Amino acid sequence: MKQLKILDNTYYQILIGLLGALALYNLYTAIISGNLWGSLPVFIQSILIYLLISKHPISKIAVKLWVIIAFFGAQGAKLTGMGIQAWTKQMRGDANAWEMITTDRAIYSLIFLLAGVIIWILNKGFGTVVENKASDGKE
């Protein structure tokens, strides 16, 4: 049976901690807002935590997919949308068209985008898939 062998234990623990913290935060916001769609990220992050803890061979690919969707896709779309809104306001002649680029929302999106890049880079060498021989007495 194939299993993920962890090469960088520090990154592994930080990744599980990050996923746990994000899952708790998303659960809190889903409960407070009453939005059931807010529980979808909690479900996805819980699956990722399970895959990482069980050292499933697909967990490395699942983390990459999560980073692409949650960090690059979502944050990139937010930043692109803000840029388009600012550009259209500039075209209409609004004086404060580019102020939305410096809001907390844009800064948080940039921070999440940077975190996604860091996770992506560190994910390359944190583990490798190895064949794990079952201990059923046959060798």
Token pair in block for residue 106? 């844009």
**Helix, strand or coil, per DSSP, at residue 81:** helix
Name the band, by pLDDT with cuts 50, 70 and 90, for residue 26.
very high
Distances (CA, A) of 3 to 46, 56, 105: 19, 6, 39
pLDDT at 15: 92
Which residue segment(s) compose the domain that 18 sits in?
A: 1-56
Q: What is the mean pLDDT of residues 30-52?
A: 92
- Percent of the chain beyond pLDDT 70? 96
What pLDDT score was predicted for residue 37? Answer: 87
Which helix (H) or strand (E) segment is 32 a member of?
A: helix 9-33
The reply to whether 67 and 113 lie within a common domain is yes
- Two tokens at 116? 């996604």
Do 121 and 62 share a structural domain? yes
pTM of model > 0.85: no
Which amino acid is it at 136? Answer: D
pLDDT on residue 127? 82
Q: Are residues 50 and 76 in the same domain?
A: no
Which is it for the CA torsion 5, 9, 12, 13, positive or negative? positive
